[in-house]
Structure 1
Amino acid sequence: MKLALIGAVHSTLLTLQKLIQHGMTPHRVYGYEPDDTSQVSGYASLRAPCIEHGVAYTPFRKINAHAEEIAAAGYDLIFVIGLSQLVSEAIIASARMGCIGFHPTCLPKGRGRAPIAWLVLEENVGASTLFLIDREADAGPVFRQVPFAILPEDDAGTIEAKALQALASALDDWLPALKRGEWDPLPQDERLVTEYGRRAPEDGWIDWHRDAREIDRLIKASTRPHPGAFTFSGARRLFIWQSTIETGLAIKGVPGRILKMTSDGRALVQARNGLLWINDYSFGHDAAWQEDGLRVGMRLGYCPENEIHALRRELDLIKGRLGL
């Protein structure tokens, strides 16, 4: 079979490795190369491994701009793995057998965007699912589905690792069958469909008036390789990468207030209900702010009334100096 592979994240790289391992080396790989790779969760360049294995490589920004080229190549099967862009109907129709997609949920449950973040937030069961791409996103019949458990301590990073391990198992099982000519995808049960909506970096904002458990899940869902959950410390944006819920201390404070600090820099913060340890955090890329750190008594986040009052006082001072 004449194969192509499209993508640019860890699952794409794993798929390339498995295709080569099973003697199904792609004819060409199309690798997404954006200006800023930090905005792509789990980005993995495919250029070097393609050079290493002698696979033709084409970089792209918009995959549908290459639709005519892909169609003219006459591929039997196109793997579209780990790509947030929707491929055009022209690309889908150009593959003689079809296009293969990957999704880390138990399809038909969990169709849509940001599945790993949503899985962590809801603590649902995940699954690495290989399916036939159709006009409707994530709705095509399924070839293989390998489930994996999601535990309370899991975060986006550990779930991605579990999804990759399950994807490796799914490919090891399905690719040999595909080589033997087996083609038996099972239609999804439309009665069981659920869908996840898009998540953006600003959705990682922490509201300290929510329960500690909710905040902990948000931090775990937003952590690396995602952009991170965040709050504010004065004018600084504070990214929180790892947290744990405290259940043994009999202490209570104002939501968002830092109540204790440990010698290794961990901070105990009050939520609406419950306490949360901030174990790993950063102030973006500002080295001076990193050194300043956190301290007991600081209040994270904003109190709108206080901020509005402070802004009005500053505005009055500016007006006074201008004689207005």
Structure 2
Amino acid sequence: MKKIGFVTCVQLGLSCIEEIYKIGEKLELLITLKDDKAQKKSGRVFLDEFSKKNNIPLLKINNINDEMVLEKIKEYDLDWLFIIGWSQIARKELLLSPKKGCIGMHPTLLPEGRGRAAIPWAILKKLSKTGVTMFKLDEGVDTGDLISQIEIPLDESITATELYQKVNDVHIELISKNLKAIINDEIVLKTQDKELATEWPGRTPDDGEIFNDMSLEEALLLIRATTKPYPGAFIRKDNKKIIIWKAEKSLLKGDVKLKDGYLSILEYEVKEC
């Protein structure tokens, strides 16, 4: 029986963990961030309840490359370590600690879209499809050998909220489809085609600002791409940040004037700048 550990701090990872137990398999060790870390991270979750319910040891850390992580992997004699929804890059020593290696997932069809903010970028780039890739981690960023991929078709109205849910569902599907093969050493690895690789840069909350010289199309696209669980598109007004979660074009004068018309805000939140 293969011994498996799991590293995550977001819903995508927890959904995978829950699927592992639905299948009837188990985990030897859970690893997550300390409670005070990344509290504003999109999709942030805590594993305490699941750990306690299923009697799984839970290690809370500052960094995936901490010495205590290496020690725990060896203590629990792990064959595989899943690292999903985790922004810290695992170094070589960590990757070599489990006997078989480490497995990750990335919400694009690798080698396209290596890097950060995959869900917002898929919408901002107006892609007709995206997907999720399961792959064996190496020292690069999303460069490891492919295990399995599932496509997600996109339409012109999809929001980050909707795409995040689709990505979550596909994470579950990839676990269901591949876990037995992983446990039985039956996976077939495929090298990524470097010629097809693209890299998408990280995004910050400030990248969501809407300016008056934007078009309606640009503003609505930005709102769809950065809505929940992401920080949101916003305007600044009277030393406040108005975060726009949902909006539509206004035939008459609306709430936000843009270069070719008005936005009518349907759902919003006000925060101090």
TM-score (norm 2): 0.93
1:224 CA drift (Å) = 1.1
How many equivalent residue pairs? 269
The alignment yields a C-alpha RMSD, in angstroms, of 1.8
Q: Is the 8 A contact 1:139 1:188 kept in 2?
A: yes
Q: Is 2:90–2:139's contact at 8 Å kept on the other side of the alignment?
A: no
Query: Do the aligned partners of 1:126 and 1:163 also contact (CA within 8 Å) in 2?
Result: no
Cα gap change, 1:67 to 1:53, in 2 (>3 Å): closer
Q: Which has the higher contact order (CA 8 A, sep 6+)?
A: 2
Deviations 1:250-292 (A, max 9, x none): x5xxxxxxx24xxxxxx3x331124322111111279xxxxxx
**1:37 to partner: Cα distance:** 4.8
Q: CA deviation at 1:34?
A: 4.3
The 1-side partners of 2:19 and 2:269 are apart by 36
Structure 1 residue runs of 4 or more that deviate by more than 6 Å after TM superposition: none
Give CA deviations for 1:177-225 in whole Å, capped at 9, x if unaligned.
2233312011111111011101111111111211111111111122111
Distance 1:182 1:79 in 2: 17
Instruction: Give the secondary structure class of the aligned counterpart of 1:40.
Output: coil
Choose which of 178, 197, 219 in structure 2 pairs with 1:193: 197
Say which structure is richer in helix: 1
Q: CA deviation at 1:24?
A: 2.7
Which is higher, the Rg of structure 1 or of structure 2? 1
Q: Given the superposition, is the C-alpha separation of residues 150 and 115 from structure 1 closer, same or farther in structure 2, using an over 3 Å criterion?
A: same
Partner of 1:281: 268
CA distance in 2, matches of 1:129, 1:229: 28
> 1:234 aligned to 2:255?
no
Contact 2:235 2:242 in 1 (8 A): yes
Give 2:125's match in structure 1, choosing from 113, 122, 125: 122
**SS class of match (1:63):** coil
Q: Deviations over 1:22-58 (max 9, x none)?
A: 2331100001234265421001111111111111111
Structure 1 residues 161 and 142: CA distance shift in structure 2, 3 A = same
CA distance in 2, matches of 1:174, 1:189: 22
Give the TM-score, by structure 1 length: 0.79
Please tell me the residue identity of whatever aligns with 1:92: L
1:85 aligns with 2:72: no
Other structure's SS at 1:131 match: strand
Residue 220 of structure 2 aligns with an amino acid whose one-letter code is D
Aligned-pair identity in percent equals: 28
Residue identity opposite 2:239 in structure 1? A
Q: Which residue of 2 is the match for residue 55 of structure 1?
A: 56
Distance 1:34-1:221 versus aligned 2 partners, 3 A rule: farther
Alpha-carbon separation, structure 2, partners of 1:160 and 1:97: 30
Residues 156-175 of structure 1: pairs in structure 2 closer than 5 A: 156-175=160-179
- Corresponding residue number in structure 2 for 1:10: 11
Distance 1:273 1:283 in 2: 25
Contact 1:67 1:90 in 2 (8 A): no
- Residue of structure 2 aligned with 1:109, choices 101, 112, 130: 112
1: distance between equivalents of 2:194 and 2:83? Answer: 23
CA gap of 1:108–1:236, structure 2 versus 1, over 3 A, is: same
SS at match of 1:105: coil
AA aligned to 1:24 is E
